[in-house]
């Protein structure tokens, strides 16, 4: 019942009905008072004997008797319809301000959330995303609409903030390799640095860094626009994990990192894109190599979630771990927990953002918490093939 009263058309109808009832009541009372006044004046004009006789007739319930009608006909000097006309006029004059005030109050109550939302929308249109509409004491559909509007404004404010942060971060990331290229090319042209294979390799590394950055930004843009190409197929994650780890064997040995692989499933079939899942795993392992190689340990686990409906891939390290602040913004673009180390290893700060976008695009989730050795642990969750999840 309470939920039904929250419907705007029901509430508005009740308000209009209440306004009409109040107006009719005021009109009736004003007409009755005027009629009472007219009758009182008529009684005062009667002779005393006739007045007592008329009162007796009223007391006996004979106010419509022939004798009472004869008294009215003999002593009523005015037009019978005149009094009723004036009673209606006076009633309308009394009802008009009451109806207007009540109508304005009802319209104000109904349009207050709309007026607040219209004012907020005007400020949002000028680029002010900090404004919010107010519901006041109103509840129901209009209050829900205002809340949805505020949620939309929250999303716009967050997008605008991310756009500015991304623009600033992109300009900063592009400036570094371009500055290096410009300085070294000027040095080559001025003869300060002698051209040679080492110098060319240095310049090529900067160009490749720019290329990786542009490619990563392109991938994220496609993912945000929902236009990232996906070749979905039934894919077994167990051999894919082994395949990706095999490509990192040399680098893991170079960083003296011990690899611990745990396959708790013989097979883990998910509906995913092989190349995109490989890219996700590569980005997570690259992140561990850049930020947690001092821990000397990399753990990869393939298992089933409790209930057996989802496959889990955990990539853990023994590094410094993640602070609470880092976890809240971990998958934002250009987020780095150790900026100086990332610069030294050539990271763009987009690897985790790309991994998160690719997993979500394939219907999974990617979250981070602490590993068993105090470092970071990234958990990929993907729905298992139904035949496997039910077995």
Separation of alpha carbons 6 and 142, rounded Å = 9
- C-alpha torsion 230→233→234→238, nearest 10: -50
* pTM of structure: 0.57
pLDDT given at position 298: 94
CB 34 within 8 A of CB 85: no
Phi, psi of 272 (to 5 degrees): -155, 170
Separation of alpha carbons 135 and 116, rounded Å = 8
pLDDT given at position 218: 77
Separation of alpha carbons 331 and 354, rounded Å = 8
CB 27 within 8 A of CB 107: no
pLDDT given at position 382: 94
Separation of alpha carbons 275 and 330, rounded Å = 23
For the chain, the distance separating the N- and C-terminal CA atoms, rounded to the nearest angstrom, is: 46
pLDDT given at position 341: 40
| Number of alpha carbons in the 13 Å side-chain half-sphere of residue 199 | 14
Indicate the helix (H) or strand (E) that contains 368.
Answer: strand 365-370
Separation of alpha carbons 164 and 146, rounded Å = 27
pLDDT given at position 64: 73
Closest CA to 359 of 318, 333, 331, 387: 331
Q: How far is CA 196 from CA 188, 199, 248, 386, in A?
A: 10, 5, 30, 59
> Per-residue DSSP letters for 145-192?
HHHHHHHHHHHHHHHHHHHHHHHHHHHHHHHHHHHHHHHHHHHHHHTS
pLDDT tens digits for the chain (391 residues)?
444 445 666 666 677 777 777 777 777 777 677 677 777 777 777 788 777 777 787 777 777 788 777 777 777 665 544 455 666 666 667 667 766 777 677 777 777 777 788 888 888 888 888 888 887 666 667 778 888 889 999 988 888 887 777 677 677 677 878 888 888 888 888 888 888 888 888 888 888 878 877 877 777 777 777 777 788 999 999 999 999 999 999 889 998 999 999 999 989 999 999 988 998 999 999 989 988 888 899 999 999 987 788 999 999 999 888 877 777 778 776 655 554 344 444 455 678 888 888 899 899 999 999 988 889 999 999 999 876 554 4
DSSP structural state of residue 32? H
pLDDT given at position 124: 87
Q: Sign (positive/negative) of CA torsion 221, 223, 224, 226? A: positive
Q: In what order do the strands lie in the sheet with 297-304?
A: 258-263, 297-304, 310-317, 376-383, 365-370
| Number of alpha carbons in the 13 Å side-chain half-sphere of residue 251 | 15
């Amino acid at each position: 019942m309470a939920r039904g009263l929250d419907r705007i058309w029901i509430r508005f109808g009740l308000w209009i009905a209440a306004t009409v009832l109040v107006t009719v009541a005021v009109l009736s009372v004003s007409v009755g008072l005027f009629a009472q006044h007219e009758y009182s004046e008529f009684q005062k004009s009667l002779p005393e004997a006739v007045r007592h006789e008329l009162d007796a007739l009223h007391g006996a319930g004979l106010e419509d008797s022939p004798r009472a009608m004869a008294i009215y006909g003999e002593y009523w000097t005015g037009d019978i319809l005149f009094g009723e006309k004036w009673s209606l006029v006076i009633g309308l004059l009394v009802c008009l301000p009451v109806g207007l005030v009540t109508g304005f109050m009802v319209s104000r109550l109904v349009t207050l959330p709309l007026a607040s939302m219209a004012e907020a929308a005007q400020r949002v249109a000028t680029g002010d995303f900090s404004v919010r509409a107010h519901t006041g004491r109103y509840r129901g559909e209009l209050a829900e609409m205002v809340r949805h509007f505020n949620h939309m404004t929250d999303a716009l404010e967050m997008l605008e903030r991310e756009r500015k942060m991304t623009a600033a971060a992109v300009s900063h990331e592009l400036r570094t390799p371009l500055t290096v290229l410009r300085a070294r090319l000027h040095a080559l042209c001025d003869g300060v640095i002698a051209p040679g294979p080492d110098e060319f390799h240095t310049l090529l590394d900067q160009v490749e860094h720019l290329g990786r950055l542009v490619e990563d930004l392109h991938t994220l843009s496609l993912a945000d626009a929902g236009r990232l190409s996906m070749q979905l197929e039934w894919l077994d994650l167990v051999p894919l994990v082994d395949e990706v780890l095999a490509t990192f064997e040399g680098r893991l040995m170079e960083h003296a990192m011990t690899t611990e692989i745990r396959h708790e499933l013989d097979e883990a079939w998910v509906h995913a894109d092989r190349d995109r899942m490989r890219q996700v795993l590569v980005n997570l392992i690259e992140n561990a190599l850049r930020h947690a190689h001092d821990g000397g340990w990399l753990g990869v686990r393939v298992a089933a979630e409790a209930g057996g409906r989802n496959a889990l891939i955990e990539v853990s390290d023994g590094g410094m771990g993640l602070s609470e602040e880092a976890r809240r913004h971990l998958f934002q673009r250009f987020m780095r927990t150790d900026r100086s180390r990332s610069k030294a290893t050539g990271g763009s700060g987009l690897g985790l953002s790309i991994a998160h976008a690719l997993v979500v695009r394939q219907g999974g989730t990617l979250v981070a918490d602490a590993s068993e050795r105090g470092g970071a642990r990234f958990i990929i969750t993907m729905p298992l093939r139904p035949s496997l999840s039910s077995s």
